[in-house]
Amino acid sequence: MTLYEVYVRGYKDADEDQSVFEVIQESLGEIQDLGVNTLWLTPILQHDGYDHGYNITDFFSVADDLGTEAEFQDLVEAAHDRDMHVLFDLVLNHSARDHEFFQRAQAGDPEYRDYYEWQDDGSPGTYFEWEYIANFNYENLEVRRHLLDAVDKWAEYVDGFRCDMAWAVPDPFWQEIRERLRSKDDDFLLLDETIPYIADFHDLAFDIHFDTTLYFTLRQIGRGDAAADELTEAYRQRAVTGFPDHAGFMLYIENHDETRYVEECGRAATEAAAAAQFTLPGVPMIYAGQEIGERNRRGKIYWEHAQDDLREYYKTLTGTRNSIPALQYEGDYEEIEYQADSDEVVAYAREADERYVVALHFGEGEATVSFPAESVDATDAVSGDSVAAAGGDATVDNVVVLPAGE
């Protein structure tokens, strides 16, 4: 699986006679050509006007600025026709304060006041001082029924949920959702946004988790605030935290909540970090625009200024991963002995039917690396070129994936 996050407002401009859903549908071919098979769409429901869409005013209606429910259904069906999956961004912790329920609560209706959490000063419960949302009161049965009905409705359309602020919703509710979904579809996927990640969430309800530790480590390495071998420690944290070996992790270097990696860390580090996404165990995620060097975090993507060579690089990464089982989800990961002339280099092995050694270089230019305990073929599986250097070493620009013997 390779994910592609589409920030639905700003992905591409729609003509007067097109909806946003139709524009995305027309783009499925080029998205799939990137090597992607799963779309994550940011919230598509009626909202309070902020373009991120996470402040929802109606959990049962598609946002007017995106199109109709029928057009959304057409988009999903078109993706399915291409053997692509669609993840729906599920927001359950809160509603917008413009939601009818909250407006009634604010007006003093005691029934609806019980739908929300309230602070001692009379203001609604919220997180991070967000002033446009109000946290639901999950002790209220009507709230739970309302949200479960919404879950049931949208699950009929899509293949999984990306669960916003999963840590803020009571655990029993996620368990109830999982049981409802799995009773109808054994393959329905649940991806949790939990920062930092929580190992108990795997057995609780979720299949895939944001790999937040890896994300923050890649940022530190890319900025030059940590040596590249910290990547090894970041990977170890999955087991240290208590996740089982089979737990899935989404590997990302940017999303709609974060600055673009290339803006903060530069092109060389970006290429190495992207290679980490596609050579470490997990599910790589590309945030739309990442593949062309886009610097806007949200909103309009300037496709006309695309760095085409970077897009080709991403296609090469997805193609390499898709063609080598060792690099995929089930491939084993192993720490290895290596020596390099730069602390911006890290290396590890992946193995399925065959064994490969991966080396990443986060710095400018070329670095030299050797593998004292490995017998490697110096033909790089990514570029197809020989990367042999004197003395049995190998050179690495951003990434090399080398076949290895016993």
Whether 25 and 78 have beta carbons less than 8 Å apart is answered as yes
CA distance 274 to 101: 43
What values do phi and psi take at 329, rounded to 5?
Answer: -55, -40
Q: Quick one: which of 384, 390, 381, 385 has its CA closest to 404?
A: 381
CA distance 76 to 166: 24
What type of residue sits at position 145? Answer: R
Residue with tokens 């190992």: 199
Find all residues with CB under 8 Å of 299, minimum gap 6, and list them.
7, 9, 10, 51
Residue with tokens 């054994």: 186
163 - beta bridge partners? 90, 192
Residue with tokens 């990464």: 317
Q: Which two tokens stand for residue 139?
A: 């002790």
What values do phi and psi take at 55, rounded to 5?
Answer: -100, 90
Whether 38 and 285 have beta carbons less than 8 Å apart is answered as no
Active site residues: 164, 193
DSSP track, 257-278: TS--HHHHH-HHHHHHHHHHHH
Q: Which two tokens stand for residue 282?
A: 């997990």
Whether 322 and 35 have beta carbons less than 8 Å apart is answered as yes
Q: Which two tokens stand for residue 137?
A: 């009161």
CA distance 31 to 44: 19
What values do phi and psi take at 165, rounded to 5?
Answer: 45, 50
Q: Which two tokens stand for residue 6?
A: 């589409």
Task: Count helices and strands (H / E) in the chain.
Answer: 13, 19
Largest Cα separation within the chain, whole Å, is 79
